[in-house]
Amino acid sequence: MSVDRNTVKQIAKLARIRVPEEQLDHLAGELTNILSWIEQLSELDTDGVEPMTSVVEMAPALRADVVNDGGITEKVVANAPEAAGSFFAVPKVVE
């Protein structure tokens, strides 16, 4: 795939970056090189290759999805400038 000056202008507009006119040709060449490299990746046979998140085999750490208060309510509220029971007290902002 080849990228021309107009495509570079459109990409710059979408990315909201200013590209000087004298750099358009250079950027078009750079983007063309990048896209040709990406096209080479499509030639690889990836059938039977499992998706992975890391090059090292890892199992995610699983835990029970239990809702709780963490058991440290007193410590958290101790940091508040003002508290009302186990809640942060804040000034009223709506009349």
pLDDT tens digits, 47-62: 888 888 888 888 878 8
| Per-residue tokens: 23 | 């750099």
Residue 25 sits in which domain range? Answer: 5-41
Domain count along the chain:
1
Is residue 87, in this structure, part of any structural domain at all?
no
Q: State percent of the chain over pLDDT 90.
A: 40
Which pLDDT score is estimated for 69?
A: 73
Task: Residue 31: name the closest of 23, 41, 42 by CA.
Answer: 23
51 and 58 in contact (C-beta within 8 Å)?
no
Is residue 10, in this structure, part of any structural domain at all?
yes
Is residue 52, in this structure, part of any structural domain at all?
no
Query: In this structure, what CATH number is given to the domain that contains residue 29?
Result: 1.10.20
Is residue 70, in this structure, part of any structural domain at all?
no
Q: pLDDT for 5-22, tens place per residue?
A: 999 999 999 999 999 999
pTM for the model stands at 0.50
Over residues 32-50, mean pLDDT:
90
Is residue 37, in this structure, part of any structural domain at all?
yes
